[in-house]
Chain A
Amino acid sequence: NAGVTQTPKFQVLKTGQSMTLQCAQDMNHNSMYWYRQDPGMGLRLIYYSASEGTTDKGEVPNGYNVSRLNKREFSLRLESAAPSQTSVYFCASSYGPSYNEQFFGPGTRLTVL
């Protein structure tokens, strides 16, 4: 079991460029999440997907879009990157609301110049 995997590990973008962060899980989890982690700010939820075919906004959704491609995969897209989106991005998954424990991926360190 690979658990939760993310690609890429590192990325540098210029302001205005677009990119998609990929996340996949092999634990047959129903729920998937995208967080960003900034120094002194903890983990903030960007978007989540409670089940295949559904997505919902979290605390900081502006500037991002997501796609729940199938049960395994949940991608995060930055359409026009801004320096304020420089952060470490974590994907996570869980069985669902009754089980709660979230399993995190290794993270993607994104720098926007």
Chain B
Amino acid sequence: GENVEQHPSTLSVQEGDSAVIKCTYSDSASNYFPWYKQELGKRPQLIIDIRSNVGEKKDQRIAVTLNKTAKHFSLHITETQPEDSAVYFCAASSIYNTDKLIFGTGTRLQVFP
């Protein structure tokens, strides 16, 4: 079955710096890759997603890139702010079962002022 690995598990950056979180997946049939943000004590919320027919997608300070050949995708946050501090989860689902999201183990991002 699908396996999603996420690195690093923790990431500390200075406010204004960039942060990059990387994920790899195992199932070549995966075609949907969302990123969720979970603030402390809150529910996960979708922040950006990408489908396999696109190599990059941007939304203001966040971007996601996808390399299908290498089976990895990354989240990039530029000009980080303290409110970006949270746990970020990547996930993947297969073209054969788009309801079944497999999540990575999460990255705790801390942005220091």
Residues of chain A contacted by B104 (CB below 8 angstroms): 42
Q: Which residue of B lies closest to A99 (CB)?
A: B98
Q: Is the interface of B mostly helix, strand, loop or mixed?
A: strand
Residues of chain A contacted by B105 (CB below 8 angstroms): 40-42
Residues of chain B contacted by A58 (CB below 8 angstroms): 100
Number of interface residues of B (CB under 8 A): 23
**Least Cβ–Cβ distance between A8 and chain B, in angstroms:** 16
A-B contact count (CB 8 A): 52
Whole-angstrom distance between the alpha carbons of A42 and B44 in the complex? 11
In which size bucket is the chain A interface?
20 to 34
Query: Interface of B with A (CB < 8 Å)?
Result: 1, 6, 9, 32, 34, 42-46, 49, 89, 91, 93, 98-106
